[in-house]
Amino acid sequence: MQGVKLVKTQDKSLTVEWLDGRMAQFPYFWLRDHCREPESLNQDTLQREVDTFSIPEDIRAETATLSGDGSKIAVTWAHDGFVSGYEAAFLREMAFGPEGRVKRKLWRGGDIQEDLPEYDFADIQAGDKGLLSMLEGVEKYGFAVINGLPTNVDATRDFITRIAYIRETIFGGLWDFSANMAHSDTAYTTADIGPHTDGTYSFDSPGLQLLHCLAFDGEGGISVFADGFKIAETIREEDPEAFRILTEVAVPGHYLEEGVHLIARHRIINLDDDGELEQICFNNFDRAPFLLDEARMMQFYNALRRFHDLAYDPAMQVRFQLVPGKAVLFDNWRVLHARTAYTGFRHLAGGYVNREDFESRLRVLRKA
Ligand code: OGA
Ligand code: ZN
If one compares 189 and 249, the residue with the highest pLDDT of the two is 249
Mutate which of 180, 211, 223, 323 for ligand 1? The one with the most ligand atoms within 8 Å of its CB, which is 211
User: What is the CA(205)–ligand 2 centre distance, in A?
Assistant: 12
Model pLDDT, residue 173: 94
Average pLDDT for residues 357-361, to the nearest whole number? 97
Q: Are 84 and 33 in contact (CB under 8 A)?
A: no
**CA dist 274 to 54, 61, 203, 334, Å?**
31, 30, 22, 17
**CA dist 300 to 133, 235, 252, 307, Å?**
39, 13, 13, 11
pTM: 0.92
Residue 63 has pLDDT above 90, yes or no: yes
Model pLDDT, residue 171: 87
Q: Whose CA is nearest to atom 2 of ligand 1?
A: 187
Q: Which residues pair with residue 65 across a beta bridge? A: 74
Q: What is the pLDDT of residues 277-331, one digit of tens each?
A: 999 999 999 999 999 999 999 999 999 999 999 999 999 999 999 999 999 999 9
Model pLDDT, residue 186: 65
Q: How many residues does the chain have?
A: 368
- Using alpha carbons, select from 336, 305, 339 the residue that is nearest to residue 320: 339
- C-alpha span between 124 and 152 (Å, rounded): 17
Q: Whose CA is nearest to atom 10 of ligand 1?
A: 187
Mutate which of 340, 348, 352 for ligand 1? The one with the most ligand atoms within 8 Å of its CB, which is 348
- C-alpha span between 5 and 91 (Å, rounded): 13
- C-alpha span between 225 and 142 (Å, rounded): 10
Residue 199, by phi and psi: left (phi above 0), alpha (psi -120 to 50) or beta? left
User: What is the CA(194)–ligand 1 centre distance, in A?
Assistant: 9
